[in-house]
Amino acid sequence: MGTLLFEYKNQKVEGYPFKFIRYSQQNLRQPMHMHDYVQIAYVMKGVCSHQFRGKTLTVGKGDVFIIPPGIEHSLNAFDGKEFEIVLVDFMPYLVQEELHSFADSYVWNMILQEQEEGASELLPWLHISKDKQPLVEQLLFDIQDEFEHREHGYEVSTRISLVKLLILIERESRKFTVKRQPGNPIRLMERPFGGVIQYICDNYSLDIPLEKAAELAGMTPAYFSHAFKKETGQTFVDFVHEVRIERAMELIRQNVHTMTQVCFQVGFRHLSHFIRTFKKRTGLTPTEYKKTFAPSEK
């Protein structure tokens, strides 16, 4: 069976090219489909799975993604896990005039020029920082209230709130952007990880779960894991191991500690794990490294 196409003409309400949907079913299973309109999805709570541009993403509270027309995707609940997600559907021309000044931006590329070369390299979703999540959610509540009651002027009111929402998303995306170079498509960089890296360097001897690092970065664990690897070129665990092995090499060269002492001082809890990780990164076992680089005992 081919990919389903959801068309605007079947989604509109009273001729207005806009729709608001809230999902919270634990049994949600969507087939792969695409739209001829734009869809903004924001996770209000919990976690769910989102297949988008060839990736299967675990997304959680505060994650937002913009699905341009013609892009296959699907949303699916995890068995037994609660979630709530809000979908806002609209035709691009509804906000084109207001977003004209945002040309060369994340929102512009994802909504109005989604087929532009390089647009597919944009990060498929964005995490809204904790301090901005209440603003996003209030705008969504305002949109929902206007759309459900449909009092006189609701079209203008929902469009204004939608534009405000897109501006807020654009501002959040600019925390992660680098300046566009002439001739190159705009890309997203991940949130700076200086604070997380400093924490690892200061606390490598302790247990550092990914959830702790994600909390420090203000991200959901799923987003953090993806973003950290994209930014550093390494998984979070590999980066922590690298810091620990670098410190272990320093201690071994000092030649004042036993290998077991070095193992525990740099944060490993099992000597066998320490030896395997050390050899994987240096090509030598800790003992071989000591024989080669540590000063001979007199």
Residue 9 has a pLDDT of: 59
Tokens of 209: 């779960």
Main-chain phi, psi angles of 61, to 5 degrees: -50, 130
Residuewise pLDDT in 10s, the chain (298 residues): 455 655 555 555 567 889 999 988 777 888 888 888 899 999 998 878 888 777 777 777 888 888 888 888 888 888 777 889 999 999 888 888 887 776 667 677 777 654 444 444 455 577 787 778 899 999 999 999 999 999 999 999 999 999 999 989 888 777 654 333 333 333 333 345 777 888 888 899 999 999 889 888 877 888 888 888 877 778 999 989 989 998 998 899 888 899 999 999 999 999 999 999 999 888 889 998 888 877 665 4
Could you please state the CATH topology (level 3) that the domain comprising 4-174 is classified under. Jelly Rolls (2.60.120)
pLDDT digits (tens, 9 = 90+) for 134-148: 999 999 999 999 999
Residue 176 has a pLDDT of: 52
Could you please state the CATH topology (level 3) that the domain comprising 194-293 is classified under. Arc Repressor Mutant, subunit A (1.10.10)
Residue 156 has a pLDDT of: 94
Residue 226 has a pLDDT of: 84
Residue 180 has a pLDDT of: 36
Mapped to the 3 state alphabet, what secondary structure does the chain carry?
CCCEEECHHHCCECCECEEEEEECCCCCECCCEEECCEEEEEEEEEEEEEEECCEEEEEECCEEEEECCCCCEEEECCCCCCEEEEEEEECHHHCHHHHHHHCCCHHHHHHCCCCCCCHHHCCCCEECCCCCHHHHHHHHHHHHHHHHHCCCCHHHHHHHHHHHHHHHHHHHHHCCECCCCCCCCCCECCCCCHHHHHHHHHHCCCCCCHHHHHHHHCCCHHHHHHHHHHHHCCCHHHHHHHHHHHHHHHHHHHCCCCHHHHHHHCCCCCHHHHHHHHHHHHCCCHHHHHHHHCCCCC
Residue 104 has a pLDDT of: 65
Q: Look up residue 96 and give its amino acid.
A: Q
- Whole-model pTM: value is 0.61
Tokens of 251: 């201690």
Q: Do domains 4-174 and 194-293 have the same CATH topology?
A: no
Main-chain phi, psi angles of 11, to 5 degrees: -110, -20
Hey, where are the domains in the chain?
4-174, 194-293
